[in-house]
Structure 1
Amino acid sequence: MKRFRFAAGTALALLASTTAMAQPKCGQFTIAMIPDTQNYTDYTHQKAAGYPLDGVELFYEQMRWIAANARSAGGDIVFATQVGDVWQHYSEWTDPEHEARGFKAMPNSGSSEVAEGPRKETRAFEIPAAIRGFEILKGKLPFSVVPGNHDYDALWTDPAYPPQPERKDSLRIGLRHLGGLDGFRSAFSDQSEFFKGQPWYVDAHDGGADSAQLFTVGKCRFLHIGLQFDAPDASLAWAKRVLHRFPGVPTIVSTHKYLDRDGSHADTPALDQSILDHRDNNPQMVWDKLISENDQIFLVLSGHIGGQGYSVDRNLAGHEVHQMLADYQGRWQVAKELGWKNANATLGDGWMRLLTFRLDGSKPSVRVRTWSTFYKKFSTELPDYAAWYKAHEGMAKLSDAEYLKRDDFSFELPDYQARFGRK
């Protein structure tokens, strides 16, 4: 397997080697990638809870900016994908489906405030806040939302894998399991106000926890598949059926946990449900069972792990699959500037990813930029960008220039025409 990753001194542009083929004209267009929004909708990050601003307003501003720059409003954004962890807290200790399957539960160790237990504010404030945010996008452009680990109803520790405080790795908190998507479905089911009856919302599974969207740009069609966290076997089987329904259509997959900062397929044992439940699949399994086997998937987007990551793997057909991580939830420069002292009260500072596609011509490419709707600037336009975030995101060893390239770069799609030129 040939893999390209972010690394010091490594050029991000890939060599192009394409053959001239007749290709439909797509025109230039942009996809908005919305990283984890959990800290904006967190009920503790609002003025009513003593926070210096209403974090949810930063989330709403992101949605307003996307709507204002949508193709329908004269801009060039044709699709938006939110990659999970829409809200912060859990609402139940366990879910009925896992209880019926014989799963046992014990309280979580005190590794974080979120893991301490369910909160009534999840359904009273956080989920309604998320719904209000996506109402801003309703009718403006096609979009997708997938559940991240925080968007499940319940989080508990499996008694068979209790905490091991003496360990230095993530197993010190034991193995935890997630269950229940009633809260997520209350906002984003296939029958929700956002998706029911929309011609671009072409399929769903598990009540909308997995979903598929088809959007057209110029004379080109694109398929997007959204997968739930550690997508179970049934989700992957459904995704294959969708791909077979739209054979050869260039496909983008969004899921919450997939890529790590070093470009590897993320594997966090303390959150790896596949260890506890044979139905679930960790990122490497998702690659092996779905992405590598289906040649029309050319791009995978994910969040979950703070920072940025990028890599290219070759699938079983020998073609490139570009994979990207972006998660800015741990950033709290905005709060610092407002005099907030608690480093745990992070927001995300309004940052999101913009992927601009230029697929016509002999060298199809994608330009990746990172934009803050709070600072109203791209990452490269802020002189202190690296100083603010580099060390906090575990990349202090990188030079400022290397760090900046993780949020502003281009890559070519040298085999795009060979795969999709006549579609």
Structure 2
Amino acid sequence: MDPQLSRRSLLRAAAAVPVLSAASAASAAPASAAAPSSPVAGRGPAEGRDLRFTLAVVPDTQYLLDEGGSDAEPVRATLRHLVRERHRDQIAFTAHLGDVTEHGTETEMRAAREAFEAAGGLSYSVLAGNHDVSGDDQRGDTPYLRTFGPRRFARMATYRGSSPDGYNSAHVVRGGGREWLVLALDWRVSDAGLAWAQRVLDAHPLPTVLTTHDLVWAQDDGVAQLSDHGSRLWDRLVRGNDQVFLALGGHYWPSGRTTLTNDAGHDVHLHVTNYQDRYYGGAGMLRYYRFDLARNVIDVETFSPWLRERRDPTPLEREHVELTGDVDRFTVEIDFDERFAAFAPAPVPPPRPPSAVLPRGTVAYWRFDGAGLGAAGDDGAPVPPGTVARDLSGHGNHLTATLLHDSGPEALTWSAAHHERQPAHASLRFDGGKAPDRGAVLRTGPDAPVNGMTFERGYTIETFLRLPDPFEGDHAWMGILGWEGRAGDAGKHSGWSDDDPTCSLNLSGERFLQFIAYPVPVDADPTSWSHALPVGRWTHVAVVNDGRHTTMYVDGSRIVRNAAEEGRGIATLGKPFALGGTQSAERYGQGFYGWIGDTRIVSRALRPDEFLTGR
């Protein structure tokens, strides 16, 4: 879009319960009970933490660990890959889905134990499948239990204990700034095993991934449905425990997936993952569940590390290096905070006092809680005209609320909504619009010091804003903040019109931010443009000038379309600073549509780590 044309458009217009972990006498040795996790362990603020991690899943390996004739090297290659790439791929945990071996014999379990020597340093779970054991989890001693019982997991930091029989285990995994519970359940869970699992869930109110061997099966279309044992797990454990959002099984082929609704009305994603019918007994296939809490998705991919290592693969091997069908490579969309709010809400940082966010050079700081307004109203209550938002910097740049045109009281209301990193836990809701023009602004008084400051040594202007979802109506070129006064009166004629305000932050019809500030010494109009802002979520905006150039940041990230022209200072005219609208020809048209939170002006360039988001 032509920036000049754009400006023309503007001018025109609970108590924890310990997990039982003593193994039965048939198992290798009792494991001591582990302390439960914190009852509430949600994720923290986005800044300063990694929002991505990977859960690795290893499906049935039975044809590769068969004493009748097989090759364990693909299993070892998979485990070596996980160890080698655990940091790069951010692998937080690995889950084996059962049928480790073909017959569950001492010889095969010895081969499995030797293969898992390649997993040194990994945190993982292994559960029993029908080829490893028979009967339910009360079966007593088996070669499987002596190989993959509590003793194997006891030294792992993620391990939280096993059921008394030793066949079911619990693990708490850290990833994406959250804790996650992984339940590894036997292929046939008894009533006692279900009761144990319920106690684990009660003791660890965390987002939970349930793994078992026999859960769902699918036809060739990839649409999965519960098996008989899966139906028992669903009815007796999953549907009534909102924590369980993802359940994974093997046993059947082909692979598939489905989504069911639990008793709380939330989605539970159920997947079957098994490739033993494929070339080379599955060739050590590995599935990655890449959790991305920034994007609210889990990206799933399936590949064979063993085949990736082949120097001269055959055509059949190349065909199976990576699987990209609809049930092998896909994305699961989850609003993690919303999905887990009932039992593991994301912690919100407490409000920060004004004194904590007044760095050297602060010219003005406004917020809309009790500290800034003296006494804020109830959420949704109108803000009466004449209400004063005090300048908490102490410089007297107080703002006074004014309704525009014939706007009613709904044009400006108090709100409890706020950005998670905003110092004050409050904002103002502006209901501006066109045809007819309506809205509200908050303006400094005629003698406020900020009115005539020119900031020739640099400045930082910050605000928090949120656009409504749905974003209804025509709000193209609505103003967010700026100084009043005509550019022409400041001797600036380079813009589209002399009626331009001397400095303003606006939103285009495509929801691009536009920041324009006419500099002091020359006649120029350097303009910065952001990308399209999202609706329905808070955005932090910072405009930083170092005395020569202006840089806009959105959510702490530098945008690409920053002004190339030099721009020293702001050609202010001693007229008010305003929040909630932008003038043209010294008249306000439509006002802002959305929420505005804490706003600060500093007379020097701040680093991103000094912004109001408080990294």
Give 1:201's aligned amino acid. Y
Query: For the residues of structure 2 that align with 1:63 and 1:83, how far apart are their CA atoms?
Result: 14
User: Which of 265, 270, 283 is equivalent to 1:318?
Assistant: 265
Show the counterpart of 2:143: 183
SS of corresponding position for 2:210: strand
User: Which of 56, 81, 93 is equivalent to 1:79?
Assistant: 93
Give 1:39's aligned amino acid. Y
**Aligned ranges 1:43-54 → 2 under 5 Å:** 43-46=67-70
Query: For the residues of structure 2 that align with 1:410 and 1:218, how far apart are their CA atoms?
Result: 17
2:322 pairs with 1:367: no
SS of corresponding position for 2:306: coil
Q: Which runs of no fewer than 5 residues in structure 2 stay unpaired? A: 1-42, 348-615
The structure with the larger Rg is 2
- Is the Cα contact below 8 Å between 1:23 and 1:417 reproduced in 2? no
Show the counterpart of 2:533: none
SS of corresponding position for 1:127: helix
2:131 pairs with 1:150: yes
- Is the Cα contact below 8 Å between 1:38 and 1:85 reproduced in 2? yes
Q: 1:181 to 1:416 in 2, by over 3 A?
A: farther
The CA deviation string for residues 294-338 of structure 1, in whole angstroms up to 9 with x for no partner, is 111111011000221111111100111111111011223x4xxxx
User: Which of 153, 156, 160 is equivalent to 1:198?
Assistant: 156
The Cα shift of 1:375 comes to 2.0
Q: 1:303 to 1:418 in 2, by over 3 A?
A: closer
- Is the Cα contact below 8 Å between 1:225 and 1:253 reproduced in 2? yes
SS of corresponding position for 1:148: coil
User: Which of 114, 124, 143 is equivalent to 1:132?
Assistant: 114
- The structure in which a higher percent of residues are strand is 2
Show the counterpart of 1:358: 292
Show the counterpart of 1:34: 58
**Aligned ranges 1:219-298 → 2 under 5 Å:** 219-247=177-205, 249-261=206-218, 262-267=223-228, 282-298=229-245
The Cα shift of 1:136 comes to 1.9
Show the counterpart of 1:68: 84
- The structure in which a higher percent of residues are helix is 1
Show the counterpart of 2:594: none
User: Which of 202, 209, 212 is equivalent to 2:170?
Assistant: 212
Q: 1:31 to 1:306 in 2, by over 3 A?
A: same
- Is the Cα contact below 8 Å between 1:29 and 1:76 reproduced in 2? yes
The CA deviation string for residues 362-409 of structure 1, in whole angstroms up to 9 with x for no partner, is x410111011123219xxxx99799889xxxxxxxxxxx9x8111111
- Is the Cα contact below 8 Å between 2:176 and 2:292 reproduced in 1? no
2:328 pairs with 1:407: yes
> Using CA pairs below 8 Å that are at least 6 residues apart, which structure has the higher relative contact order?
1
- Is the Cα contact below 8 Å between 2:54 and 2:89 reproduced in 1? no
The Cα shift of 1:237 comes to 0.8
Give 1:422's aligned amino acid. A
SS of corresponding position for 1:149: coil
Give 2:299's aligned amino acid. R
Give 1:329's aligned amino acid. Q
The CA deviation string for residues 59-98 of structure 1, in whole angstroms up to 9 with x for no partner, is 1111111111113xx44111100000011115xxxxxxxx
Query: For the residues of structure 2 that align with 1:366 and 1:310, how far apart are their CA atoms?
Result: 14
The Cα shift of 1:129 comes to 1.1
Give 2:144's aligned amino acid. F
Query: For the residues of structure 1 that align with 2:318 and 2:155, how far apart are their CA atoms?
Result: 44
Task: Give me the TM-score of the superposition, normalised by structure 1.
Answer: 0.63
Query: For the residues of structure 1 that align with 2:140 and 2:160, how far apart are their CA atoms?
Result: 24
Q: Bigger shift: 128-137 or 57-66?
A: 128-137
- Is the Cα contact below 8 Å between 1:259 and 1:323 reproduced in 2? yes
The Cα shift of 1:177 comes to 12
SS of corresponding position for 1:36: coil
Give 1:65's aligned amino acid. H
2:38 pairs with 1:56: no
Q: 1:177 to 1:201 in 2, by over 3 A?
A: closer
SS of corresponding position for 2:68: helix
Query: For the residues of structure 1 that align with 2:330 and 2:53, how far apart are their CA atoms?
Result: 16
The Cα shift of 1:414 comes to 3.5
Query: For the residues of structure 2 that align with 1:180 and 1:315, how far apart are their CA atoms?
Result: 33
SS of corresponding position for 2:273: strand
Query: For the residues of structure 2 that align with 1:237 and 1:78, how far apart are their CA atoms?
Result: 27
Task: Give me the TM-score of the superposition, normalised by structure 2.
Answer: 0.44
Query: For the residues of structure 2 that align with 1:143 and 1:177, how far apart are their CA atoms?
Result: 20
How much is the aligned-residue C-alpha RMSD, in angstroms?
2.9
The Cα shift of 1:132 comes to 1.6
Query: For the residues of structure 1 that align with 2:147 and 2:338, how far apart are their CA atoms?
Result: 38
Show the counterpart of 1:342: none
Query: For the residues of structure 1 that align with 2:196 and 2:140, how far apart are their CA atoms?
Result: 19
Q: 1:418 to 1:410 in 2, by over 3 A?
A: closer
- Is the Cα contact below 8 Å between 2:283 and 2:306 reproduced in 1? yes
Show the counterpart of 1:141: 122
Query: For the residues of structure 1 that align with 2:320 and 2:155, how far apart are their CA atoms?
Result: 44
Query: For the residues of structure 2 that align with 1:329 and 1:297, how far apart are their CA atoms?
Result: 27
Give 1:219's aligned amino acid. G
User: Which of 349, 359, 365 is equivalent to 2:283?
Assistant: 349
Give 1:45's aligned amino acid. G
Query: For the residues of structure 2 that align with 1:405 and 1:26, how far apart are their CA atoms?
Result: 28
- Is the Cα contact below 8 Å between 2:337 and 2:346 reproduced in 1? no
Q: 1:80 to 1:388 in 2, by over 3 A?
A: closer
The Cα shift of 1:39 comes to 0.7
Query: For the residues of structure 2 that align with 1:294 and 1:284, how far apart are their CA atoms?
Result: 15
Query: For the residues of structure 1 that align with 2:164 and 2:317, how far apart are their CA atoms?
Result: 40
The Cα shift of 1:43 comes to 1.0
SS of corresponding position for 1:264: strand
Query: For the residues of structure 2 that align with 1:240 and 1:177, how far apart are their CA atoms?
Result: 16
- Is the Cα contact below 8 Å between 1:147 and 1:228 reproduced in 2? yes
Identity of aligned residues (%): 30
**Aligned ranges 1:98-113 → 2 under 5 Å:** none
Give 2:259's aligned amino acid. V
Query: For the residues of structure 2 that align with 1:214 and 1:263, how far apart are their CA atoms?
Result: 28
> Number of matched residues?
292
SS of corresponding position for 1:374: helix
Q: 1:61 to 1:236 in 2, by over 3 A?
A: same
Query: For the residues of structure 2 that align with 1:177 and 1:356, how far apart are their CA atoms?
Result: 31
The CA deviation string for residues 173-197 of structure 1, in whole angstroms up to 9 with x for no partner, is xxx999455211111111x2x3124
